[in-house]
Amino acid sequence: GESVGLHLPTLSVQEGDNSIINCAYSNSASDYFIWYKQESGKGPQFIIDIRSNMDKRQGQRVTVLLNKTVKHLSLQIAATQPGDSAVYFCAENRRGISSGSARQLTFGSGTQLTVLP
Amino acid sequence: EAQVTQNPRYLITVTGKKLTVTCSQNMNHEYMSWYRQDPGLGLRQIYYSMNVEVTDKGDVPEGYKVSRKEKRNFPLILESPSPNQTSLYFCASSPLGQGPIEQFFGPGTRLTVL
């Protein structure tokens, strides 16, 4: 069946180091993927997305890599800061049944990133 | 300020007592959606709406209803809540369109059904 999962439920990194959060997916029909950040007590916040026809996309301090061969997605955070501590979710967009505009996101279970001083 | 608001933020109720969680957005978005978040399961979509009077089931619609009478509002209705609906609920909205478009999430509603 379809699933979006994460390799590790928790990740601890030293402040200033780079973080890598991984995600596996199984639906090869997904047309794009999104990473969300959820801080304690708040709703998820969009970080970066990548279309299925891309391998890499960079944002401010973040890079998303997509490996369609092994159905793997990763989020790299450069120079991790205390404010990066949060739960990170990957999500895939299943193409809508009735319309290509439908947002039917399947979320992974999340990775808790803790930044150590 | 562009935002998605939910009310109430916290609710404790008893089994079978009908309740409504409101969701409102001020960004003129066509698309709105409800999710529930449970430990170890991530966010699962309950219902979504692509425009006024257009709603559709997500992955876990059982026990829930929605309505979209106005563009800005998308209430979630639990006609007869049960303890397995205890969860953290999020409303989200976005414009319509092809490709990745950011969904904006509300702050969440923590519901406990006793």
pLDDT tens for the 114 residues of chain B, in order: 889 999 999 999 999 999 999 999 999 999 999 999 998 888 999 999 999 999 999 989 999 999 999 999 999 999 999 999 999 999 999 988 766 678 899 999 999 999
The pLDDT of residue B78 is: 98
C-beta of residue A34 within 8 angstroms of C-beta of residue A100? no
Show the tokens assigned to A73: 């997605």
Closest CA to B113 of B7, B23, B11: B11
Chain A residues inside the 8 Å CB shell of B90: 43-44
C-beta of residue A110 within 8 angstroms of C-beta of residue A21? no
Distance from CA of A42 to the nearest CA of B (A): 5
Which residue positions in chain A have pLDDT lower than 50?
1-3, 6-7, 96-101
Residue A93 contacts by C-beta under 8 Å, 6 or more apart in sequence?
A30, A31, A32, A33, A34, A103, A104, A105, B100
Give the Cβ contact number of residue B92 at 10 Å: 26
Helix (H, G, I), strand (E, B) or coil at A84: helix
Taking an 8 Å cut-off on Cβ atoms, the answer to whether B100 and A109 are in contact is no
Taking an 8 Å cut-off on Cβ atoms, the answer to whether A42 and B101 are in contact is no
Show the tokens assigned to A55: 């391998």
